[in-house]
Structure 1
Amino acid sequence: MKQIMLFIFLVLSGYGLCAKETLQSAFITRWKTNNPGSSGNNQVTIPSSGTGYHYTVHWVKVNDPSISGKGAGPYTGDVTLTFPIAGIYRVSISGDFPRIFFNDIMDKEKILAVEQWGTNPWQSMHRAFQGCSNLAVMAEDVPNLQNVTDMSYMFSKATSFDQPIGLWDVSNVTNMSHMFFQAYAFNQSIEDWDVGKVKDMSVMFFGASSFNQFIGSWDVGNVTDMSAMFSVATAFNQDIGNWDISSTIKMSRLFRGARKFNQSLGKWNVSKVIDMGFMLNGSGLSVANNDATLMGWAALPSLQHNVNLQASGLQYCNGKTARNTLMNTHNWNIKDEGANCTLMH
């Protein structure tokens, strides 16, 4: 009898440990079923993309644990979960789940939060939470991004998202294009991100109208495309003048409409840049900072010829000679508001 009781105890203890380990490793999200979406008002659809899926799902109604269940899985792609009644549910995913892919469609408004990333090794974050306008990332752990190279559009149009993600390891990511596009609320420190492998930062903070964090220490030496990176980022005004942009080729609309941005870019090595169309239109560069920018660029030993540089709203004074050098020696086409030395005295 004692042996039987001991056996039962060991079995139950083992089960408890297994359940705890499974819970800790799960990807856990919270959803509101009757928010607008493609599924019914007592349903949610978990969006997937590609192959490599083999996962199970458990769910429980928030504030009413008596209503709970699990899916019929394992699943190898999208799954629509049907709950007994409409409401807010916590959904736990265990197993192989390489990516989540809202892509600005389906039940993008139903997901409310990421509560835990778990140990799942993510393969891509491309368009992961695009359009998830009610999303908050409440997880205290960090996602396993070791295999992730693409984070483009990850939080694009996630208009409520504003939680700390500064501890994420993004060291293998090469594409951050549109990552925070129109993420209006986002304003968290990401200064410590290792972006040394990133090549594409185009449209990264476009319309991220709250973002104004220091990122001047970023290693952007491999970035080739910065087109519209801070376009309409209306709060941004950080010193990024020491960035190594020697690999950058495209800068069109980089600060277009970034009306508070008022920093000198004179230390930038723009020798490879071929496109500056609308780059500074509507930015906030003062005459002094515009002068410093023009003088720094004109002093570079080599520049691309026939570059279009639009700087609507900006004026120059001491940078007149440098501006002429860019236009006459390198055949740049510069469109600005002309000279104004009255502000310099």
Structure 2
Amino acid sequence: MKMIIATLAAVVLMTTSTVAFAEQFEVINTEGSSVPGCQVTNSCFIPHTLTISVGDEVIWKNADVATHTVTSGTQRGGPDGVFNVSPFFPEDAFSHIFDEPGEYPYYCLVHPWMKGLVIVQDAMADDDNAETIPPPDDGDQKSQMDEQRATPTYDAEHFVTTWIISTPGESIIIPTGELTGTYSVDWGDGTITTEAGNAIHEYDDAGNYTVQVYGDFTSIRLGGDPTNAVKLHSIDQWGMIQWTTMESAFRGASNMVYGATDVPDLSNVTDMSHMFAHAHSFNGDISTWDVSSITDMSSMFASATSFNQPLESWNISSVTAANGMFRGASLFNQPIDSWNTSSFMDTSFMFLDAVSFNQPLDSWDVSSVTEMSYMFTHATSFNQPLDSWDVSSVISTSSMFWFAESFNQPLDSWDVSSVIDMERMFESAHSFDQDLSEWHIIPDGT
């Protein structure tokens, strides 16, 4: 009996000693990190690089006023599934226990300049207890349960969004546009309804609610009601919805961020006009979308003032309307020179007020374009060669470079014989000083 008691006591001592080596570490998602700049000083997450031991727990806290994600993986390679919290609301906390040594990079899906790294080393234990693997205690189980709750999973078929209800008795509307058929809505407060057409729901309490939609649901059109659109906080999952249109889908959703890791089925969609117009907080990675069926992208990112994501891999060969596409997208500055633009017919207003944009476009085929008015108006950074463009079909270049203050590229090779409106074409383009004497201009279009 004494030997049994002694053995049990030794096991207890070894277990207690090993657990004592497990530590908690804190990482702060810093205030203001939703605005580019913190990456320069590696201060988006503090500490940026954290070295811990196997079995240690890291707790992330969101000290910012914006919603983020903490997603393991890299922007180039995408999420790797080790850990993820999405959405990560202000003042929320999220924890993960690291059981394997290695390097664990992570980033924010919403604001991809935010990056951090956790380095996990083998635990340093003494010779007496190095081989002892303690069973999880109640605290470990609680941390694991908290982690599971913080990383929600949804039915793969459901379209999932999060909405913010500010006051008790407030309602949200899911406007369906041209939807036909019936569908179901799980409103996130214990209520599930069957709907046809617009769905309206009133909440008893203020808070954040995850809304899941499934069934014969093929379109959403927030653009008609800006007071409702601002309540949408995040897109969390696209699900298996077979969308039929994205026209004005999230227009005016100025508080909406992006946490979805899947892609929408756009195979039946031709219209994406105004899809993210005035979605001021949107900066989601949508580079893997199949947009090959789309014909209308007019004003798609108009006034999406946070958007600056790669789009170079998009197949836009069917797009005819690109007018206003990046109008007022003040941060956008991504390479798009590889696009097949041979179907473009209207590029008017395309980069108006896109004050950061300065990427090559000389490979574009614009031979079918008839309208270029206001195309680079107030695109104050733009100064790229365009002399290779075939503009022989263009009718209007009115205000094309108005207030394009940096632009000064040769255009003498352009065939402008079809142009009938050049009013204010270079007005206030203060840097422009090129010889246009070879242009063949027909007065008054005669």
Matches of 1:151 and 1:303 in 2, distance apart? 33
Q: CA deviation at 1:83?
A: 2.6
- CA displacement 1:155-195 (0-9 Å, x = unmatched): 00001101101111100000000101111010000111100
Residue 225 of structure 1 corresponds to 346
Write 1 or 2 for the structure with the bigger share of strand.
Answer: 2
TM, length-normalised to structure 2: 0.62
Instruction: Map residues 153-232 of structure 1 onto 2, 5 A cutoff.
Output: 153-232=274-353
- Unmatched runs of 5 consecutive residues or more in structure 2: 1-152
Q: Report the number of matched residues.
A: 290
Return the match for 1:235 from 349, 352, 356. Answer: 356
Larger relative contact order (Cα-Cα within 8 Å, sequence gap ≥ 6): 1
CA contact (8 A) 1:26 1:120 kept: yes
User: 1:30–1:332: structure 2 CA closer, same or farther, 3 Å change rule?
Assistant: farther
User: 1:260–1:203: structure 2 CA closer, same or farther, 3 Å change rule?
Assistant: same
Q: Which moved more, 1:304-313 or 1:128-137?
A: 304-313
- Unmatched runs of 5 consecutive residues or more in structure 1: 1-20, 61-67, 334-345
User: 1:305–1:151: structure 2 CA closer, same or farther, 3 Å change rule?
Assistant: closer
SS of 1:28's equivalent? Answer: strand
Return the match for 1:77 from 175, 197, 204. Answer: 197
User: 1:254–1:286: structure 2 CA closer, same or farther, 3 Å change rule?
Assistant: closer
Letter of the aligned partner of 1:267 in structure 2? Answer: S
CA contact (8 A) 1:305 1:332 kept: no
CA contact (8 A) 1:34 1:41 kept: no
- CA displacement 1:267-320 (0-9 Å, x = unmatched): 000000000000011114444x1xx22x221xx4x7315341511224555x42
Residue 180 of structure 2 corresponds to 52
CA contact (8 A) 2:302 2:328 kept: yes
SS of 1:25's equivalent? Answer: coil
The higher radius of gyration belongs to: 2
Residue 136 of structure 2 corresponds to none
User: 1:138–1:151: structure 2 CA closer, same or farther, 3 Å change rule?
Assistant: same
Residue 426 of structure 2 corresponds to 311
Residue 438 of structure 2 corresponds to 325
Matches of 2:339 and 2:187 in 1, distance apart? 40
TM, length-normalised to structure 1: 0.80
Residue 91 of structure 1 corresponds to 211
Matches of 2:221 and 2:166 in 1, distance apart? 20
Matches of 1:22 and 1:156 in 2, distance apart? 28
Residue 413 of structure 2 corresponds to 296
Instruction: Map residues 5-44 of structure 1 onto 2, 5 A cutoff.
Output: 23-34=155-166, 41-44=169-172
CA contact (8 A) 1:214 1:239 kept: yes
- CA displacement 1:71-95 (0-9 Å, x = unmatched): 331x111111123312110011110
SS of 1:107's equivalent? Answer: helix
CA contact (8 A) 1:22 1:94 kept: no
Q: Which moved more, 1:132-141 or 1:98-107?
A: 98-107
CA contact (8 A) 2:396 2:419 kept: no
Matches of 1:305 and 1:44 in 2, distance apart? 49
Percent identity reads 35
User: Residue 112 in 1 paired to residue 226 in 2?
Assistant: no
- CA displacement 1:124-178 (0-9 Å, x = unmatched): 0000000000111211100000000000000000011011011111000000001
Matches of 1:80 and 1:41 in 2, distance apart? 12
Question: After the TM superposition, which parts of structure 1 deviate over 6 Å for at least 4 consecutive aligned residues?
Answer: none
Matches of 1:305 and 1:88 in 2, distance apart? 54
Matches of 1:72 and 1:185 in 2, distance apart? 35
CA contact (8 A) 2:179 2:217 kept: no
SS of 2:163's equivalent? Answer: strand
SS of 1:308's equivalent? Answer: coil
